[in-house]
A and B are shown apart, each in its own frame.
Chain A
């Protein structure tokens, strides 16, 4: 976990034209960074650092797949001899660096840590997580659907980050958050010491971004309130237009539900873990054919409650980072922020 190896705040500046040299120097790592494919912004494995884009709002899909791939082989079973089977675990993942992740998505990964580190550690996740260094890029121009400040985040939040870059005009202000991040700063020719003016510019950028986000919602007693709302009829109002696809969950930085299947590849059987979504009807389907969440109203309610109530009960933190993707990409324009606002202000 990243919280244990916090170091004293160290800061640098790196000129924008030096970033490429810095990223090129990370040749020991697999680099993931945002690229523009057609009109779509995606996090991809980078072969050529020229492809990386720096001027973007956020990627369509949260880069959580770096630590939790959509399809992951858990084990492979092959025939050893006549009556024996050989079970093999996959090789441990490469060391990787994610560059350009937004603070909200980095916080999303910190929230995933809660799930996969508590109680029992999930080996697959832990291996990837330990091998991943996260370089976040603070948000200077939030998207109109963003609401990170309402759910305990900030456009310059450090949760989950190892290094935090902030655009201050012709350079990036670099804050070292963890010792893991510090390890990347080897070339002091690229990372220069900061001046008072740099610090001011950074603070001004953060302040401006926070201002652009507007007023935060008051969600202080919201989880307790939600508990009383479980049986209410108004859930139907929100759920009726849901079409039950998985776009919101698959785009979401904090959704972590998965499904495990054994897949037959002739002489090899692979146990594969894939993403799943509570919005799919089959998600809760029992073998008997009974479905405890038969209709979309049950499913939509579950999604809201899980994020704003159940997770708060278990880990004392809201499981939403306010990236606004579920609103932006919802086929029927379901507006999570508006739903939360309406519920939080509702008189019971």
Chain B
């Protein structure tokens, strides 16, 4: 057990024993040695399940939104105590963004912040392990650490060192906020943030011709199966009714087939390129000036669509056009509900 893990467990135990929080959301061991999973702890005795390792990728802020959406069973009174939450640096930007949108109040969440050296992309690691023919069973008793420049895997007297960029999630190498920005307790040593964001991947696409760009996205978006994992994992997507779900419409015997066919749907359930494109563009438009680039949508996509290219593009444009960075300032007005006289308008005839 590492120091931070022990500190988390101690803190959570004392919080639960003092009944200061409803429950705590952290991470536990996942289905195999290269995954961790979100973990809900309600009883002090379960605190031992909590871990802190380089596979703690999930943005747990999502679950606060999720909890807010939960329908209370009849007769149950809402609990006014805060929910305990483990928050990494990048995730804390989501927290700030939600606070600035008045979606979450600060006192609703007890935040244990943790300074983070970067989290490992399990898919990348799996590929490297296969290349190096390292058995998964061998990793069961392993020690995997992320240090300043590399990821070090120690198992059975063996030691493997892998360059950070090859194995961390794409959001990590140029992370500008490795230290939690808003917290009640902060664990771990402060980590030096990157100097600047790296937009090379976005610029590579921008440099392509329109047709090439279209071919690129066409291939990727045809693959999309619209499982909604990207939308549902997103901490910033909190609408109860989503624009891309079929709207609720009361159907009576008098409802005509045209009315049924034309019911208020922006998007059809059919899965094909235009609908998929509509889905992803709509999601991005609703994310403009709000997406904090936690990269969760890309991580969870079962079809491996590099969605963070879109979110990074959005981040870049918002920064260049309006000098705005979401998730930075609780008091900042949301980008789309404010304007400046001298906003760029050259595109308008």
Contact = CB atoms under 8 A, between A and B. Distances in A.
Contacts, number: 125
A191 to B, nearest CB: 33
Contacts of B303: 40, 60-61
B258 interface: yes
Interface string B273-312: 0000000000000000000000010011011100000000
B250 A287 contact: yes
Nearest to B268: A263
Nearest to A261: B269
A251 B38 contact: no
A273 B229 CA distance: 21
Contacts of B232: 243-245, 331
A241 B39 contact: yes
Contacts of B127: 39
B304 A294 contact: no
Interface in A279-295: 280, 282, 285, 287-289, 294-295
B227 A264 contact: no
Contacts of B63: 240-241
A272 interface: yes
A333 B304 contact: no
Given A264-B261, A274-B270, A294-B71, A243 B66 contact: yes
B214 interface: no
B339 interface: no
Given A241-B37, A262-B257, A247 B304 contact: no
Nearest to B261: A264
A338 B262 CA distance: 44
Nearest to A258: B269
Interface string A269-309: 10010111100101001011100001110000000000000
B269 A259 contact: yes
Chain B facing A: main interface SS: loop
Contact of B40 (A39, A70, A240, A287): A240
Given A241-B63, A295-B71, A329 B302 contact: yes
Interface stretch (B6-14, B27-35, B142-150, B317-325): B27-35
Nearest to A294: B71
Interface residues of B, number: 50
A145 interface: yes
B169 to A, nearest CB: 14
B68 interface: no
Interface residues of A, number: 51
Interface in A238-266: 240-241, 243-247, 249-251, 259, 261-264
Contacts of B128: none
A120 interface: no
Contact of B62 (A243, A272, A280, A338): A243
Contacts of B270: 71, 261, 263, 272, 274
Interface in B251-274: 251, 257-258, 260-262, 268-272
Contacts of B296: 331
Contact of A245 (B123, B228, B271): B228
B116 interface: no
B245 interface: yes
A296 B228 CA distance: 15
A144 B302 CA distance: 17
A126 interface: no
Contact of B30 (A61, A264, A335): A335
Contact of B36 (A61, A272, A333): A333
B119 to A, nearest CB: 13
A8 interface: no
B199 interface: no
A196 interface: no
A251 B225 CA distance: 9
16 contacts: A42-B223, A71-B269, A71-B272, A241-B37, A243-B229, A245-B231, A246-B226, A247-B229, A272-B270, A274-B271, A287-B250, A295-B70, A331-B229, A331-B300, A332-B233, A337-B31
Interface of A: 37-40, 42, 60-61, 70-71, 144-145, 237, 240-241, 243-247, 249-251, 259, 261-264, 269, 272, 274-277, 280, 282, 285, 287-289, 294-296, 327, 329, 331-335, 337-338
Interface of B: 30-32, 35-40, 58, 62-63, 66, 70-71, 123, 127, 136, 219, 223, 225-229, 231-233, 245-246, 248-251, 257-258, 260-262, 268-272, 296, 299-300, 302-304
Given A61-B225, A240-B63, A329-B302, 20 more contacts: A40-B223, A60-B304, A70-B271, A144-B136, A145-B32, A241-B37, A241-B39, A241-B40, A245-B227, A245-B228, A245-B229, A245-B300, A246-B227, A251-B302, A264-B258, A264-B262, A282-B245, A287-B249, A331-B296, A333-B38
